[in-house]
Amino acid sequence: MFKILVLEDDRELNRTVCTYLNNSGYEAVGCLNANEAYDALYENMIDLIVSDIMMPGVDGFEFAKNVRDVNSEIPILFMTARDDIASKQRGFRIGVDDYMVKPIDLDELFLRIGALLRRSKIASSRKLEIGSFVMDADEHTAYLGEEEISLTSREFSILYKLLSYPKKTFTRTQLMDEFWDADTATAPRAVDVYMTKLRQKLSACEDFEIKTVHGLGYKAVIK
């Protein structure tokens, strides 16, 4: 299921869009401001962003620019009351992929999101390819050359997360919050056990390595 981040400071509109997307086969993550959206991007594997422009604090233009500085691939769709050509030009120059003017037709939004996902090839294939190592998020498979690497569901999710954000450090607490149940009694050191298992299973891989960031957590480094 594809995750869509909805950044809209109008609480009611945010709820309406998220509900519609959830009922249409997507998983929507609603955020009311840019800071919430940054956290959501850090904590989730987001496939597409729907963002307002006019918001207090960090507006949609600045938010989109910051996203583009670190991720040139994720589709971004603006939905806004601003219908002037200057705003559209500014958005497209920043790297926004599509633009809808409020009031939003939800059926049209659904069609545009589908088109953006197809265009970015996310809808047909969510794969990470690093040298000879390939992970397919839809098939939940990992291959090193022709050899399939057997990974548990949690091992797969942790590794996919690390490789999606190379050089980014994830703390043990962040990984626990995302990949373990909230009511689990497991200690954060359980993350270390999983990293050891992943390193063992990937010992023949020369394309990347999982590095320990002492006192913090882990990161994937592509060689």
CATH class of the domain defined by 127-222: mainly alpha
131 pLDDT above the threshold of 60: yes
pLDDT category, 39, cuts 50, 70, 90? very high
pLDDT value at position 82? 85
Mean pLDDT, rounded, of the chain: 90
Q: Would you tell me which CATH number, out of the four given (3.40.50.300, 3.40.50.2300, 3.40.50.450, 3.60.15.10), belongs to the domain 3-119?
A: 3.40.50.2300
pLDDT tens digit string along 105-122?
A: 999 999 999 989 887 765
- From CA 134, how far away is CA 148, in angstroms rounded? 9
Res. 1: pLDDT tops 90: no
Q: Which residue intervals of the chain bear CATH 1.10.10.10?
A: 127-222
Instruction: Return residue ranges of the chain for CATH 3.40.50.2300.
Output: 3-119
C-alpha to C-alpha distances, 108 to 3, 38, 101, 151, nearest whole angstrom:
18, 26, 11, 39
pLDDT at 185: 60
Residue 72's SS3 state is coil
What's the average model confidence in pLDDT over 178-189? Answer: 70
| Residue from 174, 146, 145, 148 nearest 161 by CA | 174
Band (pLDDT 50/70/90 cuts) for residue 101 is very high
What was the pLDDT predicted at 71? 84
- Over pLDDT 90: what percentage of the chain? 65
Q: Cβ(75)–Cβ(120) under 8 Å?
A: yes
Q: Which residue has the higher pLDDT, 192 or 122?
A: 192
pLDDT value of residue 182: 60
Q: What is the structure's pLDDT at 123?
A: 46
Confidence of residue 6 (pLDDT cuts 50, 70, 90): very high
The answer to whether the CB of 89 falls within 8 A of the CB of 51 is no
**Per-residue pLDDT tens over the stretch 69-80:** 888 889 999 998
Among 27, 25, 23, smallest CA distance to 6 is for 27
* pLDDT tens profile 59-70: 999 999 999 988
CA angle 166, 169, 170 (to 5 degrees): 110
